[in-house]
Amino acid sequence: DAPAYAPPPPMLPPKEDVKEDPITEGLAGFEDAAKRFDWEKDAREKAEAKARRVRHEKLERAVHKAAHLEDLAESFEVMQLKRQVMEKNAKTQHANFNRFRQQNVEFAADPGDEPLAGEHP
């Protein structure tokens, strides 16, 4: 007759009795170094990504500021041109007024003219 149950497997020796062989110890050290390398690599990649993002944001702000300054410079140039046109118009109007006044003075001072119809001499 076969026994109703199988005997338990042989007991493993307690952990402190198991001696690590140098290869296993070396592998454990290598695994720790690999984990540390992965962690450092992740940290370095995150830092590089953040630096790229910060540079990109600074570049975007600089481009926006440059565009704003271009707009300001353009509007300043437009204002200068408008001011020049207004000054030229004022000079022209002043000259026209002086010329008109001079013609009226000459007209009024000319004794040879006959009075127009309806004018009193």
pLDDT tens digits for range 48-102 = 999 999 999 999 999 999 999 999 999 999 999 999 999 999 999 999 998 888 8
- Answering whether pTM is above 0.75, one says no
Amino acid at 75: S
Query: 55 lies in a domain?
Result: yes
Task: Determine the Cα–Cα distance for residues 31 and 85; give it in Å rounded to an integer.
Answer: 80
Yes or no: say if 93 and 99 are a contact pair by the CB < 8 Å rule: no
pLDDT of residue 41: 87
Domain assignment present for residue 4? The answer is no
> pLDDT by residue (tens digit) across 23-45?
666 667 777 777 878 888 899 99
Q: How many domains does the chain have?
A: 1
Q: Which residue has the tokens 């540390």?
A: 36
pLDDT at position 79: 95
Range of the domain at 79: 20-107
In a domain, 15, yes or no: no
Specify if 50 maps to a domain: yes
Residue 113 lies in a domain: no
Chain Cα centroid distance, residue 67: 9
